[in-house]
């Protein structure tokens, strides 16, 4: 690692670009996993897909390795280095001579070209090569966009034809039966993989009789698509095909759901997704295997790396790290009650990543603003702010412990953190029943993560009592209240009239009543108000809408004012991305 630029003086993309000189060919990474040639699907020299079915068939009798989830405290708008910590832990365990893999989520083009940047990690703890990782990878998100938008093409063209033709004409022209879709109850929208606030609310079908059906519509960001959720939770192609036909696109005029199967588009949607079902294989800066599969945004989506990636990795290694989005109230809760429920896998340990920066923010320091300089208050020692902010950390530790999992707190150290601030975090986290490890992986790579690696191995070797928060027999509104009270710390739940009606309808439907619950909520607070830091008290969760993701297998209560389409800021990253026209190298992705 001494060959790489100093992370305290160089941006992440400079380090990633320098590291490419030392990258191992992806065949060598595959060799660490004992993959056979026919199980490796090459996408150039340094990226591949894995034929998961062949691997699982070959290793079906092999016991699984230890399973570790990486989550975090409530982040600042800048993020707190969860992907960086996942890469650091991977590298640290590699330094200990352990056979280990990690699965992280594929970045969206939205944040990559906006304020936050990519999600490859940072400093000397990254996933590489950075440019293909960040810009489309092997086309999974493109496949998701095509599959999802094909459903909208099928829906809107069907509505146009049903308006233009009688029942007899529909039967004669195409054998169609009238679905009688209610244009005011179309649940699906379009997707694009950018943050495009101007597309949140649109009117489509303007023009003449043959220019489509005129109605209000919308766009969401690609990773919020139910198709992305289906990719994350599918067990195999047959499971994906079954789920694809259960996507609810809207309702007919009598209130019955209209699905992709009713539109006869589910088979074609699945055809777009066949290759995307195979996990992508990359590497860390120190040459350990990294799976990249499924999507980010646990605040507006399931936010998990895929079940398939985890199942494959657990068969091939002794330890496997998987990443859940944002804080434990969001990403870990969905890992706990959705992903583990669907996969049947039981974790041995969960990591809660914390930074002194975020703890100060929760303790009273000014909230950092992406794209602007860090407030000067963060540059000096303030143990009082850290101590107050640790209430948020303890809340997340308690959430992990409610799942019966052994928690490890990773203090993701910045070189500006002081010994007194770090000591206070240790004191309070250990008092809450967690192991604590200081890790300097950002600055020193795997060598800086040895304490972290040892703490995780110790936690994995202790028994746990993993248990789900709720049974699917529990009515929907009771489940929402359980999550609100037990995970977020709310006093209760309030509903808009529309959400209340939707909840009652779903509870009365035997099929919908058995679906899981995937909350949509701000990631910047335990509450539904992003301005409330620390551990808010005396508040109630407000549910303004409830969506149906029948194919993914859950309903989606939407809390507060959060949108499924983020907005682009005033100083976006795309202003600094360019191409060297002589070499073809992309510059400025971070």
Residues tagged active-site: 82, 84, 105, 116, 298, 326, 414, 442
User: What distances in angstroms separate CA 285 from CA 22, 64, 310, one per listed residue?
Assistant: 9, 26, 21
Q: What are phi and psi of 263, to 5 degrees?
A: -80, -5
CA 530 to chain centre: 19
The DSSP output letter for 569 is -
Cβ within 8 Å of residue 484, ≥6 positions away: 490, 492, 493, 541
| Nearest residue to 232 via CA among 84, 352, 103 | 103
Q: Which residues pair with 409 in a beta bridge?
A: 352, 436
Residue in this structure with the two tokens 């400025």, named with its chain if needed: 588
Pairing between β-strand 219-221 and β-strand 578-579 as defined by DSSP bridges: unpaired
Tokens read off for 179: 């679905």
The token pair that represents 78 in the structure block: 């800048």
Other beta carbons within 10 Å of 173:
10
Residues 6+ apart with CB under 8 A from 563: 197, 200, 300
| Separation in Å, CA 568 to CA 113, 193, 528 | 8, 12, 21
DSSP state of 304: B
Give the separation between CA 44 and CA 395, rounded to whole angstroms. Answer: 45
Peptide bond into 449 cis (omega under 30): no
Q: In the numeric block, which tokens belong to residue 487? A: 């995970």
Q: What is the rounded CA–CA span in Å between residue 359 and residue 534?
A: 8
| 171 sits in which H/E element | helix 167-174
Tell me if 72 sits within 8 A of 80, measured CB to CB: yes
| Burial of 407 from C-beta contacts in 10 A (0-12 / 13-18 / 19+) | buried
Which residues, listed in sequence order, are joined to residue 554 by a DSSP beta bridge? Answer: 516, 549
């Amino acid at each position: 690692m001494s060959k790489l630029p100093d992370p305290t003086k160089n941006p992440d993309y400079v380090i990633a670009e320098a590291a490419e000189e030392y990258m191992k060919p992806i065949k060598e990474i595959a060799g660490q996993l004992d993959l056979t040639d026919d199980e490796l699907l090459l996408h150039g020299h340094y990226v591949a897909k894995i034929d998961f079915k062949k691997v699982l068939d070959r290793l079906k009798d092999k016991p699984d390795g230890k399973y570790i989830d990486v989550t975090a405290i409530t982040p600042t708008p800048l993020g707190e280095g969860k992907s960086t910590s996942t890469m650091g832990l991977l590298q640290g365990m590699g330094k200990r001579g352990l056979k280990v893999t990690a699965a992280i989520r594929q970045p969206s083009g939205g944040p990559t070209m906006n304020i936050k940047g990519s999600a490859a990690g940072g400093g000397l703890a990254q996933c590489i090569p950075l440019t293909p990782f960040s810009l489309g990878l092997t086309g999974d998100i493109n496949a998701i966009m095509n599959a999802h938008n094909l459903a909208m093409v099928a829906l809107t063209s069907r509505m146009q034809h049903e308006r233009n033709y009688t029942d007899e004409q529909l039967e004669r022209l195409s054998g169609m039966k009238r679905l009688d879709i209610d244009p005011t109850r179309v649940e699906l929208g379009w997707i694009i993989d950018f943050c495009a606030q101007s597309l949140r609310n649109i009117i489509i079908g303007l023009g003449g009789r043959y220019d489509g059906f005129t109605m209000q519509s919308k766009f969401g960001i690609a990773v919020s698509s139910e198709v992305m959720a289906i990719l994350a939770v599918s067990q195999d192609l047959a499971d994906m095909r079954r789920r694809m036909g259960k996507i609810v696109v809207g309702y007919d005029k009598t209130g019955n759901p209209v699905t992709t199967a009713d539109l006869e588009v589910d088979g074609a949607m699945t055809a777009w997704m066949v290759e995307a079902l195979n996990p992508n294989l990359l590497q860390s800066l120190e040459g350990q295997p990294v799976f990249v599969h499924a999507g980010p945004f646990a605040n507006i989506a399931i936010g998990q790396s895929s079940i398939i990636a985890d199942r494959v990795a657990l068969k091939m290694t002794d330890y496997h790290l998987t990443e859940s989005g944002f804080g434990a109230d969001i990403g870990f809760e969905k890992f706990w009650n959705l992903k583990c429920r669907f996969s049947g896998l039981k974790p041995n340990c969960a990591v809660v990543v914390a930074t002194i920066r975020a703890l100060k923010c929760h303790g009273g320091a000014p909230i950092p603003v992406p794209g602007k300089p860090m407030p000067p208050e963060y540059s000096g020692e303030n143990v009082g702010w850290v101590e107050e902010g640790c209430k948020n950390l303890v809340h997340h530790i308690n959430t992990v412990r409610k799942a019966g999992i052994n928690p490890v707190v990773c203090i993701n150290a910045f070189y500006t953190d002081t010994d007194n601030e770090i000591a206070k975090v240790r004191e309070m986290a250990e008092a809450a029943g967690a192991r604590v490890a200081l890790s300097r992986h950002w600055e020193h790579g795997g060598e800086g993560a040895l304490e972290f690696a040892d703490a995780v191995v110790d936690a994995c070797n202790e028994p746990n009592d993993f248990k789900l928060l709720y049974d699917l027999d529990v009515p929907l509104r009771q489940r929402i209240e359980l999550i609100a009270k037990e995970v977020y710390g709310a006093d209760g739940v309030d509903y808009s009239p529309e959400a209340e009606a939707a909840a009652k309808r779903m509870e009365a439907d035997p099929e919908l009543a058995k679906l899981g619950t995937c909350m949509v909520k701000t990631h910047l607070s335990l509450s539904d108000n992003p301005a409330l830091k620390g551990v808010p008290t005396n508040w109630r969760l407000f549910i303004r809408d409830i969506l149906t993701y029948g194919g993914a297998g859950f309903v989606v209560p939407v809390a507060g004012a959060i949108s499924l389409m983020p907005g682009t800021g005033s100083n976006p990253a795309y202003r600094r991305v360019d191409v060297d026209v002589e070499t073809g190298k992309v510059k400025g992705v971070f």
